[in-house]
Amino acid sequence: MNRLTEGLKAAGLRLTPQRVAICKILEESKDHPTALMIYHQLLPQFPTLSLATVYKTLNVLKSMGLVHALGDAGDGAEHFDADLTPHINLVCTKCHRVVDFDEARIQEIQRVVEQRSGYVIQGARIVYYGLCPQCRANGSLKESA
């Protein structure tokens, strides 16, 4: 059992194969999937899977603090991230892809913020918006709204 499935079990939800598969996608994904992306990815394997099950599972994980909801990446959908370590998210304003950018200095900055402010930092989200290399290569010179 991984961290996410343990969280679902602690919340009193049955660990159905569908819910385990949702957790597995979140744990292994670097794509910051939406509920609809997860649903479409699992539908061939679980033809009776409902979108409501995906949303309910994601909402439980989010309310327990086991995943971050990144909000709208310009596509009108909430994106989810199971990586709770301090990192930067890059969002393409054209294709709406979200990727992680790991930078070791983030933790160093967090320590400085704690020292100078007296706060105990419990989390941070840093998001940069721009054009990804693929969209730039395809001639997208302007950001899309």
CA proximity to 90, closest of 107, 78, 82, 102: 102
Amino acid at 116: R
Query: For 21-57, how does the pLDDT look when each residue is reduced to its tens digit (9 = 90+)?
Result: 999 999 998 889 999 999 999 999 999 999 999 999 9
CA proximity to 80, closest of 107, 110, 59: 59
CATH number of 85-145: 3.30.1490.190
Tokens representing residue 142 in the block: 């302007």
CATH number of 1-83: 1.10.10.10
Mean pLDDT of the region 85-105? 87
Domain extent listing, the chain: 1-83, 85-145
Q: What is the DSSP letter of 51?
A: H
The DSSP H or E segment spanning 40 is: helix 35-42
pTM of the model: 0.81
